[in-house]
Structure 1
Amino acid sequence: MTNQLLDVTIIGGGPAGLNAALVLGRARKKVMIIDEGRPRNMVTREVHGFLTRDGITPREFRRIAKEEISAYPSVSFVADTAVVITGTDGQFQIETAQGQTFASKKVLFAVGMKDEPLDIPGLQEVYGKSAFVCPYCDGWELRDQPLVIIMKGAELMHFAPLISGWTDRFAVCTNGPDELTDAEREELRQNQVPLFDSPIRHIDSSDGSVQQVVLEDGSTVPCTGIFFKPELVTGSDLPRKIGCHITEWGAVVVDDFGKTNVPGVYSAGDAASRMHQAIAAASMGAFVAAVINNELNTEAWGEKG
C-alpha cells in the first residue's frame, strides 16, 4: 500500500491513459497508471492514422510512450488490474487484483472497450489479420480488393457508402434477416452490391488470410478481407460499479470535459466515445488530463485562501 496520496490514478494504459499521464506528468502531478497489459488492439498488426506513428505495432507504440513518460518522475506504472474503488472526490481508495491499495484525489477511467466473444465460426482466426472493424484504420491495406461486409440494418446503410471510398468490390452478408427496407435493398442493388441474408456457416481462411465466407444455404462468397461490426462492452465494469452512468452502447457517459456524474471521476478514450481510433483516444486523454490538472490546481489554490 502506498502512503502517498496520488493526484490522479489512471486506470488503463492505452493511448488515452498514456497521453493523459504525459500531460499530467508535465504538470508535476503524482500519477499512477494501473494497466493489465491486454489492450483490445493487440490483435492488430499495426496502428494507422496516427501522425508520426503510422504503421507502428501496438506493442511498440506502448513501449515508446512509456519511454517518453519516464522522463517525468512523478508518473508510475503498475502492471495490475483495478478491482475495487471506494471513497469520494479527493480521497479515493483503489484496490487491485494483486492486493495493492492506492489513495488518490481523482480517478481517470481510460479502460477502452473489449470485444464480446465472436460467434461466427472462423472469424476469430482472421480478426486483426484480414478482418477488421474500422476502414480508417485498415481500409488502405484492403483497397480495391474483394471484401465482405458483415452488417445489417441502419449500420450497414451507413457503412456501405463509407467503404466504397476504398473499394467498389464488396458484398454484404447480413448473417440472417437484413433488417432493411425495400428502398435500402434497391439502393444496394443500384450500386451493384450483392446482398446475402443466409446465416453464416463459417469463414474459410489460411494463416489468418480470409478466403471465403460460407453460408448456411450453401452459397460461398470469395473475398480477401472482411469488415464487421463487433459487439463491445466497456473494458472494465468498475465505472458502472461506482455509479457512473453508462450509455446504451456500453460507454461511460461524460460531459464535454470528460467528467462523469461521479464527482472526481473522469473518463477518456474509447470507453467514453464512439470515435474508436488511437489518435482520437490520445487527443481526448490529453484534453481531459488538462481539465483534471486545472481542477486540482484550483482546489489547491482555494485551500490556501
Structure 2
Amino acid sequence: MEKQLFDVAIIGGGPAGLSAALVLGRARKKVALIDEGRPRNAVTREIHGFLTRDGITPSEFRRIAKEEISAYPTVSFVADTAVSIAGTDSRFQIETEQGQSFTSKKVLFTVGMKDRPPSIPGLVEVYGKSAFVCPYCDGWELRDQPLVIITRGAELMHFAPLISGWTNRFTVCTNGPDELTVTEREELKRNQVPLFDSPIRHIDSSDGIVRQVVLEDGTTVPCRGIFFKPELVTGSDLPKRIGCQITETGAVFVDDFGKTSIPGIYSAGDAASQMHQAIAAASKGAFTAAVINNELNVEAWRRN
C-alpha cells in the first residue's frame, strides 16, 4: 500500500468517515480509510435517531457499514492512527503510528469529538448506561423518569426547556455556582425545577443505573437517569497541528463545502459541526465526499 497514490485519505472511521468512503467508493475513487478503532460512542449501548438503524449497537453499525463498503474494491481499511501529514494539495504524505506511509491527493478529517466528563465520583460507572449527554439520542429511554441535569449557566437555560419535552421530573445540580441571573432562577422556579448549587460528592448507582446524586451539603437527589454537559475535545489534534483553522468551540473550521483553511484538506462530521448526532455526521460525510469527488474530476478534466 505504501507506493500507491490514493485519491482521498479519510482519517477517522465513524459515521462521517464511513459515509464518505461509501460515496467515494461508488465514485470509483481510490480511498484509504485510516481509523484507530476507538469511537466516541464506544461507551453507549445503542445508536438512536438513525433511520433504519434505530437501536443498533455502535459495533454492529460499523460492521454493517464496512461490509457494504467492501463491495467497492477501491476502498482500503487501515487499522492505524495518522500521526503526521506533510505536502500540499494533490500530494499529501500521511504517516501513521505503526510506521505506514500513504500518499493522497486529498485528505478528509472525520476524527469526531470525544467527551471528557466532569470529575465527579461515580459518573464513570453510569456513563453510557444511565448517564448521557444528548436527549435526542437517549431521551426516549428516560421519558417521564426523574432525572438529574448536571450543567450551569447559559447551557442550563438552553437545556432545561429542551429536556422538558421528555420529562418534567428533573432536578438541576450545577455542581458549584449556578452562573445564573435572578431572572433565570425565577424562570426555573416558575417551571417548578428544583435547583441545587452545592458541589456533588458522588453518584450512587447499581449495575450502571443511577440511584441518587449525593451533594456535599448532605442533600440527596433520587433519580433514574442523568444528563450532563461534558467538555468536548477533537478526536485528534492533527488538524490543529498541521495548521487548520480551529473555531472557538474547538471544532475544525470549514466552509459550506467542508473545505478547511488548507487547500486540499476537508473535514466533516462532529469535528466540524455543532450537530453531534450520528445521522447528521453521516450526512455531512456523504456531502463532503461528493464535493471532493467533483473537485478531483474537474482537476482531471482540466489536465486533458
Quickly name the TM-score band, shorter chain normalised: over 0.9
Unpaired segments ≥5 residues, structure 1: none
TM-score between the two structures when normalised by the length of structure 2: 0.99
Matched with 1:94 is: 94
Give the root-mean-square deviation of aligned CA atoms. Answer: 0.7
Matched with 2:26 is: 26
Query: How far apart are residue 248 of structure 1 and its match?
Result: 1.4
Query: How far apart are residue 249 of structure 1 and its match?
Result: 1.4
State the distance in 2 between where 1:3 and 1:252 align.
30
Matched with 1:210 is: 210
Matched with 1:65 is: 65
Q: Secondary structure at the match of 1:94?
A: strand
Count of aligned residue pairs for this structure pair: 304
TM-score between the two structures when normalised by the length of structure 1: 0.99
User: Structure 2 matches for 1:153-232, cutoff 5 A?
Assistant: 153-232=153-232
- Per-residue CA deviation, residues 92-150 of structure 1 (Å, 9 max, x unaligned), is 00000000000000000000011225411111111110000000000000000000000
Structure 1 residue 74 corresponds to structure 2 residue 74: yes
Letter in 1 for 2:270: D
Letter in 2 for 1:56: I
- Per-residue CA deviation, residues 59-116 of structure 1 (Å, 9 max, x unaligned), is 0000000000000000000000000100010000000000000000000000001122
Query: Are the counterparts in 2 of residues 118 and 124 from structure 1 also a CA contact under 8 Å?
Result: no
Unpaired segments ≥5 residues, structure 2: none
- Relative to structure 1, is the Cα distance of residues 15 and 94 closer, same or farther in structure 2, using a 3 angstrom cutoff? same
State the distance in 2 between where 1:242 and 1:120 align.
34
User: Structure 2 matches for 1:111-150, cutoff 5 A?
Assistant: 111-116=111-116, 118-150=118-150
Letter in 2 for 1:222: P
Q: Secondary structure at the match of 1:285?
A: helix
Query: Are the counterparts in 1 of residues 117 and 229 from structure 2 also a CA contact under 8 Å?
Result: no
Query: Are the counterparts in 1 of residues 13 and 35 from structure 2 also a CA contact under 8 Å?
Result: yes
Query: Are the counterparts in 2 of residues 260 and 266 from structure 1 also a CA contact under 8 Å?
Result: yes
State the distance in 2 between where 1:41 and 1:144 align.
24
State the distance in 2 between where 1:147 and 1:279 align.
26
Q: Secondary structure at the match of 2:279?
A: helix
Letter in 1 for 2:33: I
State the distance in 2 between where 1:115 and 1:121 align.
16
State the distance in 1 between where 2:300 and 2:62 align.
32
- Per-residue CA deviation, residues 173-203 of structure 1 (Å, 9 max, x unaligned), is 0000000000100000010000000011111
State the distance in 1 between where 2:53 and 2:208 align.
24
State the distance in 2 between where 1:129 and 1:92 align.
41
Matched with 1:83 is: 83
Structure 1 residue 9 corresponds to structure 2 residue 9: yes
State the distance in 2 between where 1:116 and 1:99 align.
29
- Per-residue CA deviation, residues 154-189 of structure 1 (Å, 9 max, x unaligned), is 110010000000000000000000000001000000
Q: Which deviates further from its counterpart, 202-211 or 116-125?
A: 116-125
State the distance in 1 between where 2:19 and 2:85 align.
23
State the distance in 2 between where 1:110 and 1:144 align.
35
